[in-house]
Chains A and B, each alone.
Chain A
Amino acid sequence: MRKALFYILLSLIAITFIYPFIWMTSASLRPEREISELSPISRNFSFRSYITVFNRIPIGRAFLNSLFVTCSITISVLFLSSMIGYALSRLHFRGRELIFMVILFTMMIPFQITMIPLYVLMVKLRWIDSYQALIVPYMINAFGILLFRQYFKAFPQSIIDAARMDGCSDFGILYKIIWPNSIPALVTVGILIFMQTWNEVLWPLIVIRKTSIMTMPQMVALYAVGGQAESQIGPQLASAMMLALPIVIVYTIFQRHFIASMAHTGIKG
């Protein structure tokens, strides 16, 4: 009895989390006059709203931009942050602890403080309206370094010593021996960075004004605010659908990893 009640309650809550997305999918396929209807079923499904979006804004280009920026950052963070994490956990050199403290300190600085001077820096570097502005300030991630540092600490020293004996360089040890044995850490950092970067919208809004360099969240947000949608709801929802789809696909495949990664770190998207 008690169990049954739980299931009913949970299902109701689950519906409030899933139904909006079903409704959105359906509404983006319905003609404008049917959109405010509650039921997701219609006889008049068509891709008209999507075609409108493609005709109004270069969303395909924005998708490629987002893909390029997100993949560059994710790959860079995996390589660089793991390299720094390795140096901080397994190598001995002067200033190692100092660098560790500095990393902890930088993580506490709120973005509200650095946002304006970072923009000024982009202006000075003449990086406004460029991919560099979107990618370079995110190429190393402090949180990633800490996670790798922690993870690599547990790696058996004997294997590292053996590899050194065979003449393997530290880069070789890291990327050829430790990496294949650190898949969970790589997946965790990879997923978090991929998701954060794909969804990032404030920074692109600050440094990109040229339509051809815009990322997808930025373009969709501007489309919704900027009047290009002419208050047509269908195309707005269609553009939102296209923005959500890649993450939803990745999420359905790696669902367990997503939840574990974020629960592990308490970091929001």
Chain B
Amino acid sequence: MKRLNGYDVDRVGYLMVLPYIVFFLLFNAYPIIFSFILVFHKWNIISPMKFLGLENFRFLLQDPLFWKSIRNTLVFLVIHIPLQLIVALVIANILNQKIAARGFFRASFFLPVVISGVVITILWQQFYSYETGLFNTILMKIGLDKIPWLISTKLAMPSIAVMATWKNVGLYIVLFLAGLQSIPSSLYEAADVDGATGVQKFFHITIPMLNPTIIMVLIISTLGGFSLFIEPYVMTGGGPINSTLSCVLYIYKQAFYFNHMGYAATLGFAVAFIIMIVVIIQRKLFETEVYE
């Protein structure tokens, strides 16, 4: 038997990883390489590919709908991320006290996380409905005007962002709860000796110690924002006037409504590039040295 770093080579190892190698070549390597070829071509799947050079990229830079979809995603993130962080931090801090029925509360906040986005969207569409929606019914009951949640170009994306927060916040509560429980109590005791107030302890101990969790939440939410699809697809179809057109919905439309495969692939690369930049900026801005 051959030897490797002093061990016998386990031949069966090759057999066991073989499925992964086939899987990788077919569903990872091939798509990435093919995608890279596609971005230089015009192709509607049926007729032969036509070489375009960098034409797709030139078109992309001047494509108002692409920039609109990026802008919409940023609008989504600007509302979704702070809302999410604040709500999750507050609830996690309350749950971290010694309270009865913690398990029940945690489970109820977590319920929307496990349920399909399709269900959540259909449900919230009824809440947001202008004429018969639950929110407007409540507003009317207390004597206020109806709000055009999904009809207004200004409010549609923020409405979706609020819904997404409601759906996902349970996960972040649980993540923060785990983070809070890993903070050594000696830090708080030392602060108590120095006479620190609750607010001081929160901002000088809790927040810095939770920094890794905050970064993780930031990145997951950012990826979520750039992957937003089913919510606008079901709720608004990207409207009104493209104000909820998300990146993935735009790629989907280019590919499957118009058969612009080359351009859709270009959009995919561009979105991935922008995700990368946004994540790098976030890390630069928010990552701090935890142990001072």
Closest CB in chain B relative to A15 CB, distance in Å: 9
Closest CB in chain A relative to B265 CB, distance in Å: 5
When the two chains form their complex, are residues A263 and B271 in contact, meaning their CB atoms are under 8 A apart? no
Q: How far, in angstroms, from A239 to B122 measured CA to CA in the complex? A: 10
Q: How far, in angstroms, from A260 to B122 measured CA to CA in the complex? A: 28
Which of chain B's residues have a CB closer than 8 A to the CB of A3? 97, 99
Closest CB in chain A relative to B168 CB, distance in Å: 6
When the two chains form their complex, are residues A24 and B123 in contact, meaning their CB atoms are under 8 A apart? yes
Which of chain B's residues have a CB closer than 8 A to the CB of A16? 166
Confirm or deny: B251 has a beta carbon within 8 angstroms of a beta carbon on chain A.
yes
Instruction: Using known A-B contacts A119-B255, A206-B256, A240-B123, determine if residue A93 contacts B4 with beta carbons closer than 8 Å.
Output: yes
Q: Main secondary structure on chain A at its contact with chain B?
A: helix
What 1/0 mask marks residues of chain A from 90 to 116 whose CB sits below 8 Å from any chain B CB? 011110100100110010011111111
When the two chains form their complex, are residues A80 and B271 in contact, meaning their CB atoms are under 8 A apart? no
Closest CB in chain A relative to B90 CB, distance in Å: 9
Contact partner of B271 (CB less than 8 A), chosen from A87, A110, A262, is A110
Q: How far, in angstroms, from A27 to B107 measured CA to CA in the complex? A: 23
Q: How far, in angstroms, from A103 to B34 measured CA to CA in the complex? A: 19
Q: How far, in angstroms, from A117 to B28 measured CA to CA in the complex? A: 10
Confirm or deny: A217 has a beta carbon within 8 angstroms of a beta carbon on chain B.
yes
Instruction: Using known A-B contacts A17-B109, A102-B24, determine if residue A199 contacts B10 with beta carbons closer than 8 Å.
Output: no
Confirm or deny: B132 has a beta carbon within 8 angstroms of a beta carbon on chain A.
yes
Confirm or deny: B161 has a beta carbon within 8 angstroms of a beta carbon on chain A.
no
Q: How far, in angstroms, from A13 to B45 measured CA to CA in the complex? A: 50
Q: Which of A110, A137, A199, A206 has the most CB of B within 10 A?
A: A110
Q: Which of A113, A137, A170 has the most CB of B within 10 A?
A: A113
Confirm or deny: A237 has a beta carbon within 8 angstroms of a beta carbon on chain B.
yes
Instruction: Using known A-B contacts A23-B134, A113-B272, A116-B251, determine if residue A91 contacts B16 with beta carbons closer than 8 Å.
Output: yes
When the two chains form their complex, are residues A247 and B99 in contact, meaning their CB atoms are under 8 A apart? no
When the two chains form their complex, are residues A237 and B122 in contact, meaning their CB atoms are under 8 A apart? yes
Instruction: Using known A-B contacts A17-B109, A92-B4, determine if residue A80 contacts B19 with beta carbons closer than 8 Å.
Output: yes
Closest CB in chain A relative to B113 CB, distance in Å: 6
When the two chains form their complex, are residues B229 and A86 in contact, meaning their CB atoms are under 8 A apart? no
When the two chains form their complex, are residues B247 and A112 in contact, meaning their CB atoms are under 8 A apart? yes
Contact partner of A20 (CB less than 8 A), chosen from B110, B113, B123, B223, is B123
Instruction: Using known A-B contacts A112-B268, A220-B118, A259-B174, determine if residue A14 contacts B108 with beta carbons closer than 8 Å.
Output: yes
Q: Which residues of B contact A (CB under 8 A)?
A: 4-5, 7-14, 16-17, 19-21, 23-24, 26-28, 30-32, 34-35, 38, 45, 91, 94-95, 97, 99, 103-119, 121-123, 125-127, 129, 132-134, 137-138, 141, 166, 168, 170-171, 174-175, 177-178, 216, 220, 223-224, 226-227, 229-230, 233-234, 237, 247-248, 251-252, 255-256, 261, 264-265, 267-269, 271-272, 275
